Amino acid sequence: MEESTIEELQPQISVVIPLFNEEESIPELVAWIDKVMKANQFSYEVIMIDDGSKDNSWEVVKKLKTEFPAVRGISFLRNYGKYAALHTGFAATKGKVVITMDADLQDSPDEIPELYRMITEEGYDLVSGWKRKRYDPISKTIPSKLFNKVTELSSGIKLHDFNCGLKSYNAKVIKTIEVYGEMHRYIPVIAKWNGFYKIGEKEVEHRARKYGVTKFGLERFVFGFLDLLSITFVSRFKKRPMHFFGTLGTLSFLLGFIFAMKILLEKVYISNILNQVPDRDVVAQPLFFLSLVMLIIGVQLFLAGFVSEMVSLNSPNRNDYHVSERV
């Protein structure tokens, strides 16, 4: 097939929409997206991933396909979570720019043209939405602010709202990164660690929920924090785990060795030779047990590093590096 023909078949925008029990909102959402795309003369596709809905969401998606040819649908047998829906949707996209949004009508499709322009004209790899004014209860907004601040400090990425579902991506980004666990909250962090440094932000409209109820509880912040620790470790030390375990092991072993030498010096030299301090048993000193524990932990961390290196050495992806382009 000629290259020009391939370009013609490739849509400008792919909209990825994970959904779970949103039968009431998705017809209105798809019609709104179609209106925006036609008004701006965009070629597009809408990929809707039904994450094991218990209502008639999948039947609605199939019906929408007959009315809007740009709609594509994928249905899971059960609920796997938003990360699985995004991962599957990303793999199915064909567009030059990929935009994600939630299916509950709280994200406005009117933001799409500007999000597209920031990727294609300003050269951003990723643009994250920022809901300055939110229609959420305080039980969600306060933990969200704390969550965003911790993520900003740990990642060095200055974004107000990492968890905003409305984002736009250069297609190269979503074809490179891998989303798993609750990592969809940290896609900007994952993108940065994979070499996509031009990450921007756009203030977007946040609309009050029109249908249904929220599908997320406070537990997402606990899981999110644990995933932040996980992705920070994996991103930095995936291919060199000995640097992490070896550094901690060295520090622990050295401190334990210094404490042991201090105890030995007091016992052999100061007490027995100079008779300057009362002689007492080594095991009667709390510092002895502290030094012993630190020596053992140091050795164990070294062993963990060696085992991790052996596992990494046998990984088929050990020398897989993301290539930007070739000449």
**pLDDT tens, per residue, the chain with 327 residues:** 444 444 457 899 999 999 998 999 999 999 999 999 999 999 999 999 999 899 899 999 999 999 999 999 999 988 888 888 998 999 999 999 999 999 988 899 999 999 999 999 999 999 999 888 776 666 666 667 777 787 777 778 888 888 888 999 999 999 888 776 667 778 888 888 888 989 999 999 887 777 766 655 555 656 666 666 666 676 666 667 787 888 888 899 999 899 888 887 777 766 555 555 555 666 677 888 888 899 999 899 888 888 877 776 666 555 455 555 556
Instruction: Give yes or no for a contact between 78 and 52, defined as CB atoms under 8 angstroms apart.
Output: yes
Q: How far apart are CA 159 and CA 151, in angstroms?
A: 9
Radius of gyration of the chain (CA): 27
CA dihedral 157, 158, 162, 168 (to 10 degrees): -80
Question: Phi/psi at 295 (nearest 5 deg)?
Answer: -65, -45
User: What pTM does this model have?
Assistant: 0.71
What is the three-class DSSP state of 65?
helix
Cα–Cα separations (whole angstroms), residue 17 to 13, 146, 244, 271, 316: 13, 27, 38, 74, 32
